[in-house]
Amino acid sequence: MLALLPLLATSGLSCQSSNGPGEGSGAGGDTTGPGDGIGGSGAPGNSGSGGTNGSAGARGVGGTTTTTGAGGAAPGSCAGALVRCSGVCVDTTGSQNNCGACGKVCRADMECWQSNCRCGTGEADCSGVCKDVMSSTINCGTCGTVCATGATCVTGVCTCPPQQLACSGACKAVNTDPANCGRCGVVCGAGTMCLFGACLDPNSLACTPSARANATTTRDAFITLGKYWVNNNQWGANTGTGNQTIWSNCVQGDLISWGTSWTWTGTTNQVKSYASIVFGWQWGWRLSNTGLPLQISAGRNINCGWDFTMTQAGGAANVSYDMFLHTQPMAGTNDDPSDEIMVWLYRAGGAGPIGTLQQANVTIGGASYDIYRGFTRWNVVSYVRTTNATTAVINVKNFMDDLVTRGWVTTSKYISSIQTGSEIFTGTGQLDTRGFYCRIQ
């Protein structure tokens, strides 16, 4: 045994621990991040005492790769159009504290809209404060736009009441204001009044005529003249044969001139037409600036003046006022009147009113009338002048007072319409209105 010791010393054996003759061991790689495995390297083997150096260990196998999920975002990014502000993803198109960019803060009276700070709907930024510009009379439409006294701001536009204009910072009634008649700055002279926007002599019925215009024979055709309209009313044409023409001549404020001509044959005691001026209702409201309807109890004067010429060959006709009363304040297109009040100024060819004579020679407004009363679909009262007149001024209130006194009408009713024209039974003729007005006072 002792003889063998030297041989052991030279055999390359070592008592030092090793991983095996010439072998190294490599540690497996660790997975350190999403999808990234790092391979480990083998450490060199230890050399045995006196022995041959061991060969390097084999490279370790890489770790398993982790696959990123579909649609995932990289760490630290925001989805879509969102922007990371102070570690939070925000929509800068509508963020009050990050409007258009991180840290851009909108004022408390503003909102963030499409990346911009703005005032609310109907507001504007006026000197650093959001102000209403749709209804404010001191910022109407734009900052600092002040409306005239008496005006309101309607959807950003300074608006005076109907029939008024803004003149020198205040709304003025240009239909009646003698210092702003018809338009701002027009001053009416001595002896005249501002009547529906024109400076007129209130005692004159002379409307300076121009050439005849707007002539038409069409049934129910109309011509608008200021606050009135001419109506080619041929309501009884089916009882005869013929034609009716209307035309206009002049408009000066509330003073107008117009005319009509006709030829009718047929049943002699039936009205064929009533071409007329309409002031107010005629189974509906064509114009809104008349001042009607007016309740009788209001006690208002309604002065109407009329100057005309009338020619009639054969047949029968009258020239008259025709007024309608209603129980309701605003009659509609299907609302028949409760009462019809006629005032005949002129008649020819034996024309007579519906109904029976109630009283003769009644004086109203300085003129003498015979009073008739009848019925159609409504009550009809006719004041027939005992002598023809072609120029007359009447106050409608006087006739309403007479009706109330007789108990035929109550003060609760409304005057809806005042019309003037000629009822034609038959014949050929022409009515020329040289001047007409009707004024609620």
Q: Which domains does the chain have, with CATH numbers?
A: 83-118 (no CATH), 126-159 (no CATH), 163-201 (no CATH), 213-440 (2.60.120.180)
What pLDDT is recorded for position 3? 41
CB 383 within 8 A of CB 399: yes
Length of the chain: 441
Taking alpha carbons only, the member of 343, 340, 342, 338 closest to residue 413 is 338
What pLDDT is recorded for position 75? 60
What pLDDT is recorded for position 106? 96
What pLDDT is recorded for position 61? 45
Taking alpha carbons only, the member of 423, 407, 352 closest to residue 384 is 352
The Cα 228–Cα 258 span in angstroms is: 11
What pLDDT is recorded for position 32? 38
Residue 127 CB coordination number (10 Å): 7
- Cα-Cα-Cα-Cα torsion 223, 225, 229, 232, nearest 10 degrees, comes to -40
The contacts of residue 340 (CB under 8 Å, 6+ apart) are: 322, 323, 324, 325, 376, 378, 379, 380, 381
What pLDDT is recorded for position 196? 87
Residue 96 CB coordination number (10 Å): 14
What pLDDT is recorded for position 164? 94
The H-assigned helical ranges of 266-395 are none
Residue 175 CB coordination number (10 Å): 22
Peptide bond into 293 cis (omega under 30): yes
The Cα 332–Cα 327 span in angstroms is: 12
What pLDDT is recorded for position 208? 85
What pLDDT is recorded for position 289? 84
What pLDDT is recorded for position 26? 39
For the chain, which residues score pLDDT lower than 70? 1-75
What pLDDT is recorded for position 42? 41
What pLDDT is recorded for position 74? 54
pLDDT tens-place string over residues 287-336: 998 999 999 999 999 999 999 999 999 999 999 999 999 999 999 999 99
